[in-house]
Structures are given as structure tokens and as C-alpha cells.
Structure 1
Amino acid sequence: MLRKLRRGTTTMSLALAAALTGSLLAAGASAPAHAEVPATVPLKITNNSSRGERVYLYNLGTELSTGRQGWADAAGAFHPWPAGGNPPTPAPDASIPGPAAGQSAIIRIPKFSGRVYFSYGQKLVFRLTPTGLVQPAVQNPADPNRNILFNWSEYTLNDSGLWINSTQVDMFSAPYAVGVQRADGSTTSTGRLRPGGYNGFFSALRGQPGGWANLIQTRPDGTVLRALSPLYGLETGALPATVMDDYIDRVWRKYSTSTLTVTPFADQPGTRYYGRVSGDVMHFTNSSGVTVTSFEKPDASSVFGCHRKLDAPNDLVRGPISRTLCAGFNRSTLLVNPSQPDADAGSFYKDGVTNRYAGQIHANMADGKAYAFAFDDVGHHESLVHDGSPRQAYLTLDPLD
């Protein structure tokens, strides 16, 4: 499904290539066609936050028919971004008034690979460079959006239907759920926290030793705004660079004397790869014994970001193996199960060294589903809904409790 990579200070062109990529676009391209998907689909936004501030909405993305980047207004009409500059220049005001507490509003989403942002109390600040839109980068204390409470959902709408998800890959912040109404009138949704889950997540993070509480960002008045992802925690110094070293070392020791079997495609159980460690490198062979790819021993950044030494190109060998390794490292299942991916969510995040951020997000979700790291879709543990003939989509702003 969706590959979620770090975005932060990247431009919108790179961000959306990462945000709604690889598996989602491939799935969209290969999904069976149903009734013709209209040019725009209604998105109903319901404000159940119980907050009194004004809500601002933004629908930003790439127009799939042309590849142009821009924004859509409330009616779903596309507006391309003007040229930006260096230093970055202010972007046009693309905000759409959102619903008041207890109210709903409907906007239309076009055939985009994009994001729907929402913010409370203040408009977000967007700027343009010559290569595209600069998004909020709240890991930077100087970012103008640092003290704004906001979040976003990601979606792709194309001729094969709608994919829409909630995401915590970059940060855990203002809660929301997403949903879709199917052609038969039934609805499905995901992304909702369990009762008390918002405060429960932050309380759990504060109780974790080793720097995990340092991921939490607050306003100067003490208001909790978000928790940064562990990747940004490493980059800002909130988490020590050695936070995953013990687990990584144990994995490398285990598979220097035993074999890790990766079956990356659920619908192709006969496609298997076999990993063994030699020195600082894990080599993978196919069923014929031919080496197909190799991975250097990763560090915490490679694990949390699913990049660098765990890079995952959009191919049929290295990428799928790397996705599986990344999921196994973040969920800390590589030592307890030598056949990956591990399908048993009950075994995730149980090791003393694990992605505590991701584990607590999943623990506080009503359905256990989330996008807490880049390849959380391995094994279908992601917070995604899809329909080939969507009548309507939903975005529900939930309480911060």
C-alpha cells in the first residue's frame, strides 16, 4: 500500500512522491475498474473535536492527469502553484473554512495524489521554492507552524477508486478518522483512537525511559501539540543514536548462525528469500542459491526511516525484502520469528528494545490499525480504506482526550 517516508522540509513534489507511492499507486493502477469514478468525490469533514477554535482545511497535491502540483478549492477545482523562489516565497492562501465544533462541511476532492491538512486556531504557513511546495517541518524549532495544532490525511483518487488513510509516520497529533461510503451505501472507516487513547498515548510515552518522552512537543504555555516520529527524534537529538543498537546487534548475531526466511508477497507463497549474516552484511539468496541483494548492518535511522541501509526501491526483489526487514525491526519480531513477515500482531513491540512510539500508537487505536512507520502496511496493519466506486469520503476530527 502506501509507502510513508520522511517529508519535513522536502518540497511537495518529493513529498508526494514519497507519501502516496509505490504500493498505493501500483495498487491503484492494477485494481479492477468498477463504475466510472467521477472527476471529484465529496469529502465530508465532521468536527467532533469539541474545540472552539476555527478550523482551516487545505487540499494539496499532484493532479494525476497532468503531474502538476497545486491545490484544490472547496469545489474541487485545481489551481497550480505559481513559481517559487530562493529564499522560499509565500504560497497563495489555499485555506478552506472548516466546520465549527459539532458541525460538518463538504468539500470535493479531485483526482489527486495528495493531502488534506486541517489546523486549529491558525492558518498554516506554506512557502514555495523553484521546485515545489515546502511543507511544515515542526522538528525545526524555527518553523512557523511549530506552535500550531494541525494534522493531515493522505489520499489518492484515480480511475480505479479512492485510497485514503490516517498517518502518524511524521508525528502523532490532533486525532482524526477516515472513511469511505461504497456504491452499495455501506461505509468503512479507520484511524479512530480508543476512548482516552490520545492522552493514553502521551502518558505511555512519558513513562518510557531512554528519551522517548523527549519526542513530545508543547507550546510555551505547556499545551501538548504532538509527538515527533522517532526518526525526527534522532535528527533533533531527542532520542540517542544508539536507541536500537542492542536489538540490531542481537539480530545480526542470530542470523550469522541461522537463516531468516522472507516471503514478501502474501499471494506468492512460493517466492521466498533466505538471509544469512556474514560480518556486517546480510546476504539474501533465492531458492536457487543465487544472491539477489545484500544489506549492511543498519542503524536506528535506517530502521525508523526505512531508508539508507534499508533502502527499498520500487522493484520486485530488494524493495519487498527491505520492507519486510524494516517492519520486523520496528516491531521487534525478527528474533522471535525467523519466518517474516510475522502475521501475529500480538507478538509486536514486545522486546525491551523496540519502536515504542509505533507500539503505543497501535495500542491506542480502536481497531489496532495505524501508519506509525513507513512500512506499517506490511501484513496489512495500516489505517487505510479503499473503494473502487466511492460515493463519499469522510474525515472526522476527534476529541483530544
Structure 2
Amino acid sequence: MRKRLHLPAIVAALVTAAGLLTAGSSTPAEAVPATIPLKISNNSGRGDAVYIYNLGTNLATGQQGWADAAGNFHAWPAGGTPPTPAPDASIAGPGNGGSITIQMPKFSGRVYFSYGQKLVFKLTTGGLVQPAVQNPSDPNRNILFSWSEYTLNNDGLWINSTQVDMFSVPYAVGVQPVGGTTKTTGHLKAGGYNGFFNSLRGQSGGWANLIQTAPNGSVLRALAPLYGVETGALPASAMDDYVNRVWSKYSSQTLTVTPFSNEPNTKYFGRVSGNTMNFTNSAGQVVTSFQKPDSASIFGCFKLLDAPNDLVRGPISRTLCAGYNRSTLLTNANQPDPNDSGFYLDNVTNQYSKKIHAQMADGKAYGFAFDDVGAHEALVHDGNPQTAFLTLDPFN
């Protein structure tokens, strides 16, 4: 099953687009230790047991596995066909009002957390099968859970609050640098949890169908629109009208993409010809081309908007994906659009991402895979981290 881990792409992009770093981030004063503490606080107001999982890739060896509470790495054993049960990697989480501290090793991966039940992980011959709750037969379908993505390496810690796949459990992340002030992101506004779901329920066009409930009727999550399209919950034509208008506009006008904030002279110029948008460089040479994207390509930032980790197509595609999801391509022929006051104003837009951003205390979110274009993502980074934080917030 396909799962989209987008944080490694962010870290790769940081190499070529230093402007994505949070202003004021410190640079390493000394080597990042082998592990750093992650303090997990439970302010959820719920009485459920909480289970924590720290899963990912060991950056020293390239092996996939899990870390225990002490930060020790355990490689996954071989899987099978059909998938075989994975070892129980769960860590007992804090009760309501409490906190625990675990150790984070140098990983690129996810910290999962679930309420009431342990998550079910299995192993195939290709590795770990992670939860895919857009599949009604997934064993985790009726479990309330979410995750944060992070990378800890010799250059520091990147940790995010993500809604790329679903909006489910309210939580925030943070990092305290050595000798510095804690940076946090991911907190909702007061009433933001219910505000998001109420707004999605009231949105016409099938968007309310993204909401999944438990057998008792309680809300579990809202799926990201890509999964809505893939499962038929959201019309496959959701973005077609906007794409058609973009195609018409840039048949006679030029779309200018400046993908790197720290390289203002690196520009690419897009014009539509038939079913293709060709991009040229400043010398007039065609450097890459895109076919007319469908809704799935836009919501997933893949397929017809594939973004390899290169210096040309990938950065252009990231910018286009952001422009389509935020519906800024018609209002600004120079992308990316830096002004978030103009995001999501078209009637045809990524309503899911729009509503998530509207409920965030700092306006930051990962509503789609490349929400980091222009640094609108819920990400904190520091080059000299002392402690990381994961806070399970109230649902009210």
C-alpha cells in the first residue's frame, strides 16, 4: 500500500532552498547527540490509554525499524506474503494530564500515537505496511490515531504536525534548542477541532464525505482529498474547472515560476500548447513539460505533477502543486504567491486544506504534500536541538 512520507522531501529541499528554514534557526554549535529526549504530554482530556510508536529509517545504517523508549534501534524482521504481524513496537503513553519522555535516535520517520487501542502493523517482503484507513478493511480503520513526522540527523531536528493524509487528532510539536526558546507549531484555535469538522460538513461538492466515523458514530478523522478521489467519496472532477481556466489563461499568457527563495534569478516560464504546459529557462530552452493534471495529481502532488528530487522539474512541480491546491495560479502569474491572504479564494480549491489552515492558531499546516512551498507548513527546525515536544491537545 502506498504511503506518502513527505518529510524526507522537505529535508532534501532544504539543501537547495535555504529559505525554507524557519527564520532565526540556530546552526549547530556542537555535534547533535545520538539521541535527544522527546517529551510527550497528554492534554487531550480523554481517559483512553495512549500508545506511542517511533518508526522509521536508521540514518546510520539505512535499515527500517523502530526505536524503544530508550532510543535503542530494532530492525524489522523479514516479512512475508501474505503480510505477517510486526513485533509490538508500542510504548505506553501518558495518561490524561501526564507526560512521559522517550529518546529519539537519528531517524527519518514517524511518531504514531493512538487512543484506546494499539495500532496494527504488518510486514511484507518489501517492508512495513503502515495504516491506510482509506481502505475499509484496514485493521486500523476504527482506531483513533495520528502521527508526526521527523528527521533527526547531524544537521539538527525537523519535526512537523501533518495533515497530509488525514485530519484526526489535535496535537502540536516543538523543539527547544540548546540555550534557546522553544519553537512550537500545530496548536488549533479554541474550538478549532469542531470548527474544522463542522465547516467540512457544510461544504457542498462531496467534501463532507471525507469524514470517517467509528461504529458508535463518533468522529475518527477526515481523509485527505486524494483518498477521497481514490475511494469515490469526492468527485474525480473536483478540480477540473479550475484546471481548465488555468489552461485557458496560460495559452496566451506566461506563468513565471521562481522556485527558490534564495535564488531570485532562477526563473522558469510556462506556456500552454494543446494539452501540454512547457517550461523554458531564461535562454528559451524547454527544460520540462507537464500534461494537463487531474484532481488526484493535484491533491497528491504526484502522477502528472511528479516532483523528483532534482533542481528543475521537482521545484517547478512543487510550485505548481501549491498553486493549484491554493488556487493562486489565476490571480498571480508569478509563483509561488507569497501572500497567504489570497489563498483558497476561488470556489474551486482544496477545501480540506483551506479549512485546516483556518483553524490553526499560527495559520501553519500541512494540508497537502507541498504546503511547505513559501514556508506555510507546520514545521519546526533547529540545528542544535536539546529537547523535542509532542503535545496531545484537547478535542474541544
TM, length-normalised to structure 2: 0.96
- 1:267-299 deviation per Cα after TM superposition (whole angstroms, max 9, x unaligned): 110011110001110011111111111100000
1:140 alignment counterpart: 135
Structure 2 residue aligned with 1:20, among 7, 21, 29? 7
- Is residue 159 of structure 2 the alignment partner of residue 172 of structure 1? no
1:6 alignment counterpart: none
Structure 2 residue aligned with 1:248, among 238, 243, 246? 243
- Is residue 367 of structure 2 the alignment partner of residue 372 of structure 1? yes
2:216 alignment counterpart: 221
2:158 alignment counterpart: 163
**CA–CA distance in 1 between the matches of 2:266 and 2:156?**
29
Aligned partners of 1:117 and 1:150 also within 8 Å = yes
Aligned partners of 1:263 and 1:269 also within 8 Å = yes
5 Å matches for 1:225-244?
225-244=220-239
Aligned residue type for 2:273: S
1:82 alignment counterpart: 77
Aligned residue type for 1:150: F
Structure 1 residues not aligned, in runs of 5+: 1-8
5 Å matches for 1:5-84?
9-10=1-2, 15=3, 18-25=5-12, 27=14, 33-84=28-79
Residue 28 of structure 1, CA deviation? 6.9
Aligned residue type for 1:320: P
Residue 220 of structure 1, CA deviation? 1.3
- Is residue 378 of structure 2 the alignment partner of residue 383 of structure 1? yes
| Secondary structure at the counterpart of residue 385 of structure 2 | coil
1:154 alignment counterpart: 149
Runs of 4+ in 1 over 2 A off after TM superposition: 25-34
RMSD: 1.3
Q: Percent identity?
A: 70
Aligned residue type for 1:127: K
TM, length-normalised to structure 1: 0.95
**CA–CA distance in 2 between the matches of 1:20 and 1:379?**
16
**CA–CA distance in 1 between the matches of 2:282 and 2:14?**
27
Cα gap change, 1:341 to 1:26, in 2 (>3 Å): closer
Aligned partners of 2:85 and 2:122 also within 8 Å = yes
2:122 alignment counterpart: 127
5 Å matches for 1:338-357?
338-357=333-352
**CA–CA distance in 2 between the matches of 1:188 and 1:348?**
25
2:390 alignment counterpart: 395
- Is residue 97 of structure 2 the alignment partner of residue 110 of structure 1? no
| Secondary structure at the counterpart of residue 253 of structure 1 | helix
Residue 21 of structure 1, CA deviation? 1.8
Residue 26 of structure 1, CA deviation? 5.2
| Secondary structure at the counterpart of residue 104 of structure 2 | strand
- 1:295-353 deviation per Cα after TM superposition (whole angstroms, max 9, x unaligned): 00000011001011111111101110000000000000000000000000000000010
**CA–CA distance in 2 between the matches of 1:319 and 1:36?**
31
Aligned residue type for 2:373: V
1:259 alignment counterpart: 254
